[in-house]
Amino acid sequence: MQTSALSTENIRKDFPILQRMVRDGKPLVYLDNASTTQKPNQVIDAISDYYKNHNANVHRAVYALAEESTEAYEKTREKISKFLNIKNKEEVIFVRGTTEAINLVAYSWGRQNIKKGDIIVTTEYEHHSNIVPWQLLANEKGAKLEYIGINDNGELILDQLDSYLKTGKVKLVAFSQVSNVLGTISNSEEIIKRCKKAGVKTLVDGAQSVPHMKVDIEKLDCDFFAFSAHKMLGPTGVGVLWVRKEILETMPPFHGGGDMIREVHKYETTWNDLPYKFEAGTPNIADVIGFSAAIDYLSNIGMDAIRQHEIDLTKYALEKMSQVKGITIYGVKDILNRGGVISFNFHDVHPHDVATIIDREGIAVRSGHHCAQVLMERLNVAATNRASFYIYNTKEDVDKLIKSLEKVSELYKL
């Protein structure tokens, strides 16, 4: 039973892990895609092919292998630029992931631009990676960290942004395009428009948006953008930081070392061109090349079809889940403003008990605080369960989830 948007049957054939059994012969139902996605053969093979046939360091030697690896590595940068409608490919910096991308901005741009008394604004539904780097920076500089709150529907209260902007002290607004817990799709263009008007820089955490919907950075018009490969079929350990060129040119280096320099003398060094100035040391070449295959895979399906598939699945799941006795579902009701993420709890049942019970049926969902303890405090819960979908999930997966959730209700007599 597939949604009309995607041919899940064919897609599933590309993912070897989806063929395996868990827990005494139960087929794996993988619903923890907001955490990390599974990898298709195309990505696994690209990495293996690189090591088998092309392995050499990039940007250095002149022999054949080095040329091949450099070309494949740089081609990924071009591919990403095209995928996200980025004009200058030298604005694309390879990092380890979203977390490192945000830390790079905090360390390099932040230390140069944030002063005592300044305000950095983030939101109540951020991942720890978009909170802790700003806490570190604010503490170091004597700046203040403020939060845009959420309403009971799980949406940002933009009036609060306006009051912060009015103080004239805000230097940066950092927010996620899609919440990793509630699935809320932020009104990014509106937030950025208001910040622009006030002369305030914006950082967008795209970890939960880029894998699931079409993102156009040119149109978005933010200043910093971060996302990770492993949440979009790619390998772990690769992510991207995009920074608008005028800003990137003013930023001091993050890490010092090889590849980021033009000339090194005993007491002074000149920096390499962008983006290499921000890519010190031998990069994660093999996984960048694997990421390239992931982008090809997603592009072949088409981001609009992927989004439609997730809308269909999430709608189906929300309808069925709301019938389960004793369940509370968090987040936005309007399916068009919501990604394929559903957080839920059962009356008086701890999320870890829920996860253990449904794991017996081979179903993998996340339980815990999802690296969003500020949001957990706001929702007044210690933890939640979370099911999140991707291109290989089917309505049958949802049916199996529902059946296992009904078992929880029954065991606890809810």
Partner 1 sequence: MSDPLYTEIIIDEARNASNEGTLENPDISQHDANPMCGDSITLQLNVNDDSISDVKWHGDGCTICKACTSVLTQLIKGKDLDYARNLKKEEILSELGLEYLLKQSPIRIKCALLSLKALKLGLYSFLGKKIEDSASLNNLKEEASKLY
Residue positions annotated with a catalytic role:
371
62 CB-near residues (< 8 Å, 6+ apart):
none
**Among 61-69, 92-100, 230-238, 351-359, the segment contacting partner 1 (CB under 8 A):** 351-359
Q: Which of 169, 350, 378, 395 binds partner 1 (CB under 8 A)?
A: 350
**Among 53-61, 67-75, 142-150, 349-357, the segment contacting partner 1 (CB under 8 A):** 349-357
Pick out residues in 164-223 that bind partner 1 (CB under 8 A).
Answer: none
d(CA 399, CA 319): 11
**Among 167-175, 245-253, 288-296, 346-354, the segment contacting partner 1 (CB under 8 A):** 346-354
Pick out residues in 353-382 that bind partner 1 (CB under 8 A).
Answer: 353, 356-357, 360, 368-369, 382
SS3 assignment for 50-83: HHHHHCCCCCCCCCHHHHHHHHHHHHHHHHHHHH
Q: Rounded to the nearest whole angstrom, what is the least distance from the CB of residue 410 to partner 1 in the complex?
A: 5
* Nearer to partner 1 (CB atom), residue 273 or residue 348: 348
* Nearer to partner 1 (CB atom), residue 104 or residue 363: 363
Neighbours of 301 (CB within 10 A): 15
DSSP code of residue 196 = H
In which residue are the tokens 């189906």 written? Answer: 316
Residue 349 binding partner 1, by CB under 8 A: yes
Return the axis-axis angle of helices 303-321 and 285-301, rounded to nearest 10°. Answer: 80
Question: Mask of contacts with partner 1, 9-28, x by CB under 8 A?
Answer: --------------------
d(CA 371, CA 381): 13
* Nearer to partner 1 (CB atom), residue 121 or residue 358: 358
Number of residues that bind partner 1 (CB under 8 A): 18
Q: Rounded to the nearest whole angstrom, what is the least distance from the CB of residue 188 to partner 1 in the complex?
A: 31
d(CA 68, CA 62): 10
Q: Which of 383, 391, 398, 401 binds partner 1 (CB under 8 A)?
A: 383
- Of the candidates 106, 132, 137, 98, the residue with the CA atom closest to the CA atom of residue 254: 106
Q: Which of 51, 78, 352, 377 binds partner 1 (CB under 8 A)?
A: 352
Q: Rounded to the nearest whole angstrom, what is the least distance from the CB of residue 218 to partner 1 in the complex?
A: 42
- Of the candidates 352, 141, 98, the residue with the CA atom closest to the CA atom of residue 236: 98
d(CA 52, CA 56): 11
Chain contacts with partner 1 (rule: CB under 8 A): 348-353, 356-357, 360, 368-369, 382-383, 407, 410-413
